[in-house]
Structure 1
Amino acid sequence: MRIKFAYDKNKDLEIEIPDRNLLSIAHARFPDPVHDPVAELKRSLSNPIASLKLSEMVDGHEKVAIVVTDMTRYAMDETVSELLLEELHRAGVRKENIYFLIALGTHRPMTHGEIEQKLGKRIANEYAVYNHDCRNDLVDLGCSSAGFPMKVNRKLMEADVKITVGVIEPHLFAGYSGGVKTICVGLAGMETIGSTHSLKVLSDPRTKLGVIENNIFREFLNEMAERVKVDFTVNLVLNEEKRLVAAFSGHPIKSFESAVKFTRSCVEVPVPEVADVVISCPGYPKSVNLYQATRAANTVVLGPRPVVKESGVILIPARCEDGLGDENYYRLMSSFASFEELKDRLFTRGFAFGEHKAYILTRILSYASIVMSDCEIEDAILKKIFLSKISTLQEGIDQILKKNPRAKFLVMPNGVNTIPRLEG
């Protein structure tokens, strides 16, 4: 069978796998995007889940904080923000009592120009907009029941009404992103972010991609949201082209759970059995650097159950024209002469803040090999972090079939946002 999928911004890859060797093609299936996104958002705001409408929740004298994601995420921010403002002003809230908080987490501050692109020029210039600082101006809310420190943005806590906007998509720690994560990570202090991105959390068997039930990280987010007293969330489900499929607004937890239930029906795909080889394509823009491109292996091994055989192969076609991406993981992994030494260091002694990517990659490599294809990064650089490289994806397929003519292939055209689930 010939299979074609997006590889780069302006280029597709076409491969051929014999029918007898093709186990399945696992691809997220979204409904058609809504014809009128504004109408869908208004419907969601007018029919909130387990919550009062925003206009019934506020009065003209209260301070309102609207929390939005930063430039690394797209959430229809200008459109959603304008509709939220319309709702708030209808309830009598004055412009000077509304402000926006950019949920940066540990990322750099956004420039005024970037904020204009994110929220639109009108909002950026007529309303107060603040970049979060994870090291300063924080409020200490104590610790969670699991012992995680809860430090959060001071301006958020000064608001009488707290609104957050996010996108629902698979997430390695939280099961699915969106909901209160925008606040509980995006507006958290460095100590909070570091402790929840630690060996304790990532090695916990309850921390799984695509799983929100009994997930230690998600439980922390929900507990912190209650401590912070988040009032209202807007959760968007976007397809692979970033077009709106559905919106879920209302109660911070219950609206999120409804959104996840819907998203699961789109991105979680049944596969009949584990494969010898999984071809997982990150697609553009995840393909621009190695840090992002290797996320295509996460859903293969770290989802509900691995879908590649132990000691199997994960093939990732990605150009990686921008190189390694964040280099903290590479610096750490390449400092070890052997993979066993690296495993011992990360699995027993843990890792510093910002090094969790090294731990994730090492966990995957402990289970299966990662082979990059159609990649601009030199072989010698990849070998230093225990990855392999083949010139083209088709060459990789042909070599595997030459060694094992009965090898079974699972193909994931959008490996980052598709969660394969073993049947039975």
Structure 2
Amino acid sequence: MEEQVEIQTVRVPQRAYYGDSELELELPANWEVVLKPMPGWDAPALSNDQIRAALAHPYGSPPLRELARGKREAVIIFDDMSRPTPTSVLWPLVVEELHAAGMIDDQIRFIVGLGMHGSHTREDMVRKLGEEALRRFPVYNHNPYEHVTYVGDTRQGTPVEVNNEVWACDLRIGIGSILPHPFAGFGGGPKLILPGVVSARTITHNHGPLQTAIRARAAGTLAPGHLRNEIWQDMADAARLAGLHFKVDAILNGHRQVIGVFAGDFEAEWDEGVKMAKRVYATSPEPDADIIISNAYGKSNEGMISAWSPGQAVGKPKDQVVVITSPQGTVVHYLLGDFGKRAEGTLARERMLPPNVESMTIYTPYPEKSALLMFTRAGNVVESDWSRVIRKLADRHPARARVAVYPDLTVQYIDQAGAA
């Protein structure tokens, strides 16, 4: 007769854009579990009227309805499925502003800022924008390989080639979120332009030679939470050259709800927004943990971001479990992805175990060997049966274990001051 083991249950969010539900993870009852949500996890969502008020009081810019007066064509650039922004909540209020200026629907189009990610289907667009947007407006994918215009070089020497449709419009608006980013410090602000709607040549220089040069002299600045590092400054130069007129950035809670909105000039609003972002997303580490469970929710189709979030493995050596529950699978990335055993993106590289991590298990109910190949080459194991994950960890920790559970390490980040 099989011995019955007492269990405890921990719930983490899963399936962003696909029902946004909770996943129950069963752990041995004698393990000490420490849940590590970010400070803003349950902050209340803003009402539409509160969002309207933020749009009416922009930073460093006249209100959008004033900018839009007399304009012929408007483009609204929005982030893709790799970001948790609830764009369907925000775009109707942006369009209200354009209508107040006298623009009509036929003067407005949407473009998804894919950067080097794969194109979106109609289903993807509906999940981001809702059915109404696709009925009323043309919605386009960005193509980084064609239909771009050279508009100048950044101070770091990045040649900026911007989407032709974006460049042709005399009013350029962006909708996104300010979120921690692995090497830009924080997203939002100019990042919807570079990499969002520029060419492969532009992105390759920013993500490749420029990043390599910066890492050689100031590697510590290329991490979540670092403000205005050189990569971000290069993106800001590109956005200024591309003529981004008005940016709307959201701050999100742990449920993908909007809890703050900052709008206006993309640098001015970002400077204000990151103040709130740090308060909302910065999370203290758990140095005494034996095991860390790094859940990927908001950016679940780039779920391995949660594996390398700096600072989570401080203290004693740890075992790590990365939880990814994305029915969409891993986002296609033309620069960083694998496209065959002998074909990979220009900047693809193998990923080693993070510092202080002794073993890594990637748990996903949606396994895809090709997409996770670059991670499993380092000896990481992919499992789709949670009981096998627990058996492996229990063998390594036969008595008891202290477990830190981070509900979404693609959105929250470890406060490096707290990790020191």
TM-score range, shorter chain: 0.7 to 0.9
Out of 248, 264, 285, which is 1:271 matched to? 285
Query: Paired residue for 2:407?
Result: 413
Query: Paired residue for 1:37?
Result: 47
Deviations 1:33-55 (A, max 9, x none): 54653112101111112221112
TM-score between the two structures when normalised by the length of structure 1: 0.78
- What displacement does 1:196 show? 2.0
Structure 2 unaligned residues grouped into runs of 5+:
1-6, 15-20
Residue 240 of structure 1 aligns to a residue in which SS?
A: coil
- State how 1:3-402 maps to structure 2 within 5 Å: 4-6=10-12, 11-16=23-28, 25-30=35-40, 32=42, 34=44, 37-112=47-122, 114-115=124-125, 118-198=128-208, 200-201=210-211, 204=215, 205-271=219-285, 273=287, 275=289, 277-283=291-297, 286=300, 292-299=302-309, 303=310, 305=311, 307-309=313-315, 312-318=318-324, 353=345, 355-356=347-348, 358-359=349-350, 361-362=351-352, 364-365=353-354, 368-372=357-361, 384-388=377-381, 392-402=388-398
Asked whether the equivalents of residues 142 and 197 of structure 2 are also in contact (C-alpha less than 8 Å), the reply is yes
What is the CA–CA distance in structure 2 between the aligned matches of 1:320 and 1:127, rounded to whole Å?
28
Q: Number of aligned pairs?
A: 394
Residue 296 of structure 2 aligns to a residue in which SS?
A: coil
The 1:326–1:387 alpha-carbon spacing in structure 2 relative to 1, beyond 3 Å, is farther
The 1:226–1:310 alpha-carbon spacing in structure 2 relative to 1, beyond 3 Å, is farther
TM-score between the two structures when normalised by the length of structure 2: 0.78
Asked whether the equivalents of residues 244 and 266 of structure 2 are also in contact (C-alpha less than 8 Å), the reply is yes
- What displacement does 1:17 show? 7.4
The 1:311–1:36 alpha-carbon spacing in structure 2 relative to 1, beyond 3 Å, is closer
Residue 61 of structure 2 aligns to a residue in which SS?
A: coil
- What displacement does 1:61 show? 4.0
- What displacement does 1:111 show? 4.3
Instruction: Tell me the amino acid that sits aligned with residue 251 of structure 1.
Output: D
Residue 197 of structure 1 aligns to a residue in which SS?
A: helix
Residue 184 of structure 1 aligns to a residue in which SS?
A: coil
Deviations 1:307-362 (A, max 9, x none): 43586432334578888775987859988xxxxxxxxxxxxxxx964654x34x23
Q: CA RMSD in A?
A: 3.8
Query: Paired residue for 1:348?
Result: none
The 1:105–1:393 alpha-carbon spacing in structure 2 relative to 1, beyond 3 Å, is same
Q: Which is worse superposed, 134-143 or 378-387?
A: 378-387
Structure 1 unaligned residues grouped into runs of 5+:
336-350
- What displacement does 1:373 show? 5.9
- What displacement does 1:139 show? 1.3
The 1:187–1:270 alpha-carbon spacing in structure 2 relative to 1, beyond 3 Å, is same
More helix by share: 1
What is the CA–CA distance in structure 2 between the aligned matches of 1:250 and 1:157, rounded to whole Å?
19
Q: Which is worse superposed, 191-200 or 313-322?
A: 313-322
What is the CA–CA distance in structure 2 between the aligned matches of 1:378 and 1:36, rounded to whole Å?
37
What fraction of aligned residue pairs are identical, expressed as a percent? Answer: 20
What is the CA–CA distance in structure 1 between the aligned matches of 2:45 and 2:255, rounded to whole Å?
14
Residue 255 of structure 1 aligns to a residue in which SS?
A: helix
Instruction: Tell me the amino acid that sits aligned with residue 40 of structure 1.
Output: Q
- What displacement does 1:164 show? 0.5
What is the CA–CA distance in structure 2 between the aligned matches of 1:43 and 1:378, rounded to whole Å?
44
Asked whether the equivalents of residues 282 and 416 of structure 1 are also in contact (C-alpha less than 8 Å), the reply is yes
Instruction: Tell me the amino acid that sits aligned with residue 65 of structure 2.
Output: S
- What displacement does 1:87 show? 1.1
Asked whether the equivalents of residues 15 and 393 of structure 1 are also in contact (C-alpha less than 8 Å), the reply is no
What is the CA–CA distance in structure 1 between the aligned matches of 2:103 and 2:272, rounded to whole Å?
29
Asked whether the equivalents of residues 321 and 363 of structure 2 are also in contact (C-alpha less than 8 Å), the reply is no
